[in-house]
Amino acid sequence: MMPKEYDITGKVVFITGAARGIGRGIADVLAEAGADIALNALTPKYLNGTCAEIAKASGRRVEPIVADVTKADSVKRAVDEVLAKFGRIDVMVNALGDAIRKPLAALPGKEGSVAASDEDLRFVMDINLTEALLCTRAVGPHMLARKSGKIINIAAWTAKTRGGEMVLYTTAKTALAGFTRAQALEWAPYNIQVNAIGPGQFPDIVTAGPQRFQEITERARKNVPLARHGQLREVGLLALYLASGASDYMTGQTIVLDGGLGL
């Protein structure tokens, strides 16, 4: 029998960037654990099918929310839509993210080195940091009024260790870890816990494609101390802990889940 503290039956969870990848892995586990889910993506291309699959597998209510969560007006509309459909939001998971492998300035002597453009900088910051701030701000009044809530940010293992060739991504995710600490302190008096997960290598075969997925698998065998990459479900299992009452005494933390990659 599962400890009652892990029971999230009937909780409402809003997850951004959830049509595929880590967001999808989190949605699968939380729905399996009994939560009703609002899944966000920029377009319905993969989102509607993902919602249908999770609903069928879990028996829970899973609703698509199409919105650009890097834009304040769009975020407000999305949160209002979730509240209209479900009546509340118990857990906000800011899972949207992406990386660009470009240096801040072109590196002399390195073939193919191209500096990140202004557009690259804005994109990486918006998709990894701004979206989390906007979504957290948008659900804030609701959670603060109820004096209850969980915020889960998806940072990265590089937020606590090295980040070579990923300077923009590492900067955004490190800032996200800092935001997690600061927001946790600000909302602690209102019984809202704010934590983050720092995943290592968690490839999605759908987005990576079979060849790229195999390359990542082989590299992980050599570079990761546990000799494998992570499974998307494993991030979901950690998110379940952070979404449940079991983590009520934890706040402001970024938990690295990387198979030892950052050691």
Active site residues: 169
- What is the DSSP annotation of 92-153? EEE---------SSPPTT-TT--PPPHHHHHHHHIIIIIHHHHHHHHHHHHHHHHT-EEEEE
Amino acid sitting at position 199:
P
Secondary structure percentages of the chain, helix, strand, coil, to 5:
50, 15, 35
Structure tokens at 155: 């940072």
Structure tokens at 201: 């290598």
* Cross-strand bridge partners of residue 194: 151
HSE at residue 34, side-chain half, CA atoms within 13 A, is 10
Calpha distance 193→141 (Å, rounded): 15
* Cross-strand bridge partners of residue 22: none
Residue in 57, 76, 194, 71 with CA at minimum distance from that of residue 123: 71
129 touches 176 (CB < 8 A)? yes
Q: Which helix (H) or strand (E) holds 49?
A: helix 44-58
Q: In the chain, count of helices (H) and strands (E)?
A: 9, 7
Structure tokens at 175: 């800032």
Count the Cβ atoms, other than its own, within 10 Å of residue 218. 11
